[in-house]
Structure 1
Amino acid sequence: MSTLDIFTRDIIQNSLQAIADEMFTAMRKAAMSPVIYEVLDMGTGITDAQGEIASSGAGIPAFVGVLDKAVKKIRQQHPLAQDIEDGDVFISNDPHDGAVTHLNDVVLAMPVFADGHLVAWTANIAHWSDVGGRVPGSLSTEATDIFQEGLRLASVKLISKGQPIRSVLQILRANTRMPDFMEGDLWAGVAAVRGGAVRLRELTGKYGTALFLLAMKDFMDLGEKVSLKALAALPAGQLNLEELQDDGSLFKVRIDIRAHELLIDLRDNPDQCQGPTNLSRDGAVVAAQMAFKALTAPQGITNGGTFRPLRVLTRPGSLFDALPPAAEGFYFENLIRVHDLILCCLAQRFPERLPAGNFASVCATIIGGVHPDTGRAFTLVEPEIGGWGAEPGRDGNNAVYCGLHGETYNCPVEVCEARYGLYVERMELNDEPGGHGQFRGGRGVCIDYRIRADASFMTCGYTRSVIPPWGLEQGGEGTANGVEVIRKDGQRERYSMASGVALNAGDLVRVRTGAGGGYGPADRRDPQAVRQDLKNGYIDAATAHAVYGLTP
């Protein structure tokens, strides 16, 4: 019988984290698409044999939250004794079959064996620029079912005992408008899961399989204990919130805080829609998990045990538990809407723990066409950065990604201009007034993309384009998100959710992301901070006087 001390447990757990980070680096260095190697629109992780997250890995938080669900579905569809073997790699992208998000986000998962037993899985997920469907980039605001959004891969075996399955690769190549990018990104993901599997076998060889498995189980139990301790410190009670959305619909949440459980009830929400903004139940669970973590132990460990005290209720057939064949291309906006809805509900009760509202949108901006210098098709896929809400004692962060995207990056101007058929003429903080308070909401950004070639197109997915981020404790609202097309003849068109907007050489796409909400009354802001805001260009002299009472 193996025995485990806390030092060995922590060494093994830190090793799992290091392996997941190494997988992330390998994928980043080998990928062909800038949305992966520059923006880092990906995630890596390690699960135990049953598919529970053992190491949260690196990358987008909402992506890491997908991996356990995808692996569990693979295990359901492929019996271990007959169809999961050493050297296999599986591929999945279907949100109705465990892959959670939309068809552009592709999961690769590899079983890891030691001493003849399945002990873990390595897995990653990344955004592929095109997976077929009715429009370039595969994201159409006019899609009415998932069949119009591209190729569906429902837990398919891609590599069998180390050998690629040629017919699957042929299908993949035939169902994308950018086959060279697809293959480059695919093999980068395969290299990452294979590299992680090698490291895991080394780890089990060093400590023994039994001790390795015991350490994973013990660390998940610790994750549960941390969450339960945090819940026990919160006052029990029920919270409710109704929030109006940009399209006039009403989203609702009920939260029950109990000593040993947090219950999030999303059942009383609209039916699934005919468009592509539906969310799978697993997606709603991911949103709830991120909010749960923010409330309980944001700096603590995260693994499968962390979320054992969380229970999420959804209604099949609703917007947050869509049934096949619902389209889900723009799922990300309702995932962040659910996340933000839960946070807003909690923040009213715990303003000392949570910040005011942030710009809370992926602000997905896709510009494509034919590069005027190379003649190759290109698709820029850019989630945009915006302002975060203020909190007690500090202003909100300027120009960072929404909670769904985590620590990703905007694509550098030099890469945009080299790889894509456009110029980036401006990238600066958004100077629109908003987010006032004792502590100020962070600023969004203003970015101008100048189109260089005729027959280009734009697709965008923005929310909080009408309803701005909320303030806390009498803080002011933030500002809205939006994208504007300024034609070369000066005509202006504003968009928030659109696909296939025709663009020609000389047209300008102007992105504006919002400021976060403020915290506390504006008249309590330190005059020196107001003067610094004025100096930095965050506010103008009229706002400094009218809102903050600063005299010249």
Structure 2
Amino acid sequence: MTLNAVELEIARNRLESIAEEVGTALIRTAYSPNIKDRRDCSAGIYGPDGELISQAEHIPLHLGLMPTLIRTTLAEYGAQRLRPGDVLLTNNPYLGGSHLPDMCVITPVFQEDRIVAVIANMAHHVDVGGQTPGSMSTRSTEIFQEGIRIPPLKLFARGELQEELLQLLLMNIRTRDKTRGDLMAQVAANRLGTRRVQELLEEWGVAGFHTACHALVDYAERRTRSAIRELPDGRGSFTDHLEHTGVHPEQLPIAATVTVRGDEIEVDFSDTCDQVPGAVNCSRAVATACVAYVLKSLSDPSLPSNAGLTHPIKVITRPGSLVHAVFPAPVAHGNIQTSQRIVDTLFGAFETFTQGLVPAASSGSMSMLTIGGMDPSSGEYYSYVETYGGGQGAFPDQAGASATHTHMTNTRNTPCEVIEREYPLLVESYRILPDTGGDGRHRGGNGLERTLRLRSGSAIVTVGTERVSSGPWGLHGGEPGTPAGVQHHGTEGVRDLESMSRVELRAGEAISIRTAGGGGYGASISGS
């Protein structure tokens, strides 16, 4: 049985709408501002073996790595051990996750005694333990310092919450109420997705459901191969650098060789530096997610996002490298910093053998800031977590956007009113920084600045950004963007901090972060 074009489009929209509904339910029922306001979460539908069928338009990093995590989790736990009502939980980066705060909840959908689909969502929790509030330490040198690591475990067994497991997790987490609420929101969202898939099974039957899923994957592969054939054949190499390990400043090369041949693409990261004793390492799944993102953005952004998208892609990494970290490497900032630099590197490689396709470099970091401690007014721990947008790199035909999330991130900002309601913080300033985008025929977008002042108590601040020592690069005569910066406003004055820093705030002190402007494209008219 095959699907005609109309049936294929109906199936695609039905399944994508379920993934979107799962994400919407999670956002609307979550407890923490990081999920309900910033929407730092993603959702998708998978086959019984973990093959991606459809996903919501959430965060490219999550969406790109979740297929690896779902597949390896089902294989490690054993899908044959799962029963109706079971729910798996994991955050293990070495199985294909990102970092420990990103907890993935996986719910198998059964028809009688057989798994016919899997619903999964991933959400960034505001704390999972570790040496700093927010669990995003820049100073960690091994994974144990970053929080509690969860192997694939049953959070629910045959529909019953495993209370002892949950209490063990919450005992190691500062914000236990927020974490419990967010976890239960993840579980409830998956239950909604399960009901929707079961409604499809009643309408289509199991055979019809599987036919639709296979047809969608085949369709995505055909579309992707066609899009790759439109790219020029060629081979290009490029190296870009991170500027900080998390422990100390150091130039860390990320190297990629991209080969386009016919309807296939190969990306080789073998020459990337070794993993480091700092938090910027990332899993291989993160690197694979970046490749899929770049292919889709450069070839055809309308390509369906399912397993068929990655079938024509071959990714080569070296275990033990910065982009294929192995135990016990810390990884907290691998997706925050390194994924963005991987994208820059891939764009640079494509630029060597294409024309008018690649944009200039964007701000180059998700620019994460966490502030956490004990709120004197309530006696409870709080954890403010946020990533900040920056300048988008200019395009061959238009300027870059300002103060926006780019590439592997796609979250919203936390409203100033929410910050001041939820935490003992005052938003002293929040603005777009004028003239920070690189000049050119088309200018790069501007970065932003936010200053937060601690109203009471004391707090630990962890800040991680990039492109501080040099701004994002421009292309074809375009100027680089203005570099990023971090400042501590203390009792002894204002001092500049390193791009990845940890500092203690006392009441009345403030922290400010400035994100980089995007690179410009083409020589400006005034300079030509």
Normalised to the residue count of structure 1, the TM-score between the two structures is 0.91
Any idea what SS the aligned residue of 2:493 has? coil
Match of 1:254 in 2: 257
Report 1:72-471 matches (<5 A). Answer: 72-81=71-80, 83-98=81-96, 100-246=97-243, 247-332=250-335, 333-406=337-410, 408-431=411-434, 433-471=436-474
How much does 1:504 deviate? 1.1
Range 410-419 or range 282-291, more displaced: 282-291
The alpha carbon displacement at 1:89 in A equals 0.6
SS in 2 for 1:248: strand
SS across alignment from 1:70: helix
CA distance in 1, matches of 2:221, 2:57: 21
8 A Cα contact 2:240 2:341, kept in partner: no
Distance 2:32 2:261 in 1: 45
The equivalent position to 2:520 in structure 1, one of 513, 518, 521, is 518
| Distance across 2 between alignment mates of 1:42 and 1:351 | 35
- Please give the alpha-carbon distance, in whole angstroms, between the structure 2 residues aligned to 1:352 and 1:423: 44
CA distance in structure 2 between the aligned counterparts of 1:425 and 1:198, rounded to whole angstroms: 46
| Distance (Å, rounded) in 1 between the aligned partners of 2:149 and 2:107 | 19
Residues 447 and 512, structure 1, Cα contact 8 Å, conserved in 2? yes
Structure 1 unaligned regions, length at least 5? 525-546
Distance of 2:325 and 2:303 partners within structure 1? 32
CA distance in 2, matches of 1:233, 1:6: 22
From 507, 510, 519, the equivalent of 1:508 is: 510
**Hey, what's the Cα distance between the residues in 2 that align with 1:432 and 1:503?**
30
Contact 2:237 2:352 in 1 (8 A): no
Query: Does 1:494 pair with 2:466?
Result: no
Higher Cα radius of gyration: 1
1:28 alignment counterpart: 27
Q: CA deviation at 1:520?
A: 1.1
| Post-superposition offset of 1:431 | 2.6
Give the superposition deviation at 1:52.
1.4
User: Which amino acid in the other structure matches residue 203 of structure 1?
Assistant: L
Of 411-420 and 327-336, the range deviating more from structure 2 = 327-336
Q: How big is each residue's C-alpha offset from its partner over 1:355-406, in whole Å with a ceiling of 9 and x where there is no partner?
A: 1110020100111223354343211101001110111221110111121112
Unaligned runs of 5+ in 2: 244-249
RMSD: 1.6
Letter in 2 for 1:415: V
How far does residue 522 in structure 1 lie from its aligned partner after superposition?
0.9
Residues of 2 paired with 1:139 and 1:410: CA distance? 18
SS of the counterpart of 2:434? coil
Report Cα offsets for 1:397-426 as digits up to 9, x if no partner: 0111121112x2100000011101111121
User: CA offset at residue 3 of structure 1?
Assistant: 4.8
Q: Is the 8 A contact 1:24 1:58 kept in 2?
A: no
Q: Is the 8 A contact 1:398 1:444 kept in 2?
A: yes
2:65 corresponds in structure 1 to 66
1:14-55: per-residue Cα shift (whole Å, max 9, x none)? 111111111111101111110111111111111111111111
Contact 1:112 1:120 in 2 (8 A): yes
Deviations 1:98-120 (A, max 9, x none): 3x211111000101122543111
User: In the superposition, relative to structure 1, how do residues 118 and 244 fare at CA in structure 2: closer, same or farther (>3 Å)?
Assistant: closer
Alpha-carbon separation, structure 2, partners of 1:489 and 1:134? 26
Structure-2 separation of matches of 1:410 and 1:348: 35
Task: Quote the Cα distance in structure 1 between the aligned partners of 2:2 and 2:219.
Answer: 16
Counterpart for residue 5 of structure 1 = 4
Report the counterpart of residue 54 of structure 2 in structure 1.
55
Q: Which amino acid aligns with 2:144?
A: F
Do the aligned partners of residues 393 and 432 (structure 1) sit closer, same or farther apart at CA in structure 2, a change above 3 Å counting? closer
Deviations 1:63-108 (A, max 9, x none): 1122211211122123333x1111111001010123x211111000
Distance 2:352 2:366 in 1: 24
Aligned equivalents of 2:241, 2:186: Cα separation in 1: 40
1:383 is matched by which residue type in structure 2?
T
Matched residue SS, 2:384 = strand
Relative to structure 1, the CA distance from residue 212 to residue 450 in structure 2 (aligned partners, 3 Å threshold; closer, same or farther) is same
Percent sequence identity over matched residues? 35
Q: Which residue of 1 is the match for residue 14 of structure 2?
A: 15
Closer/same/farther in 2, CA of residues 351 and 376 from structure 1, 3 Å limit:
farther
Distance across 2 between alignment mates of 1:173 and 1:262: 44
Residues of 2 paired with 1:133 and 1:75: CA distance? 27
- 2:376–2:456 CA contact under 8 A, matched in 1: yes
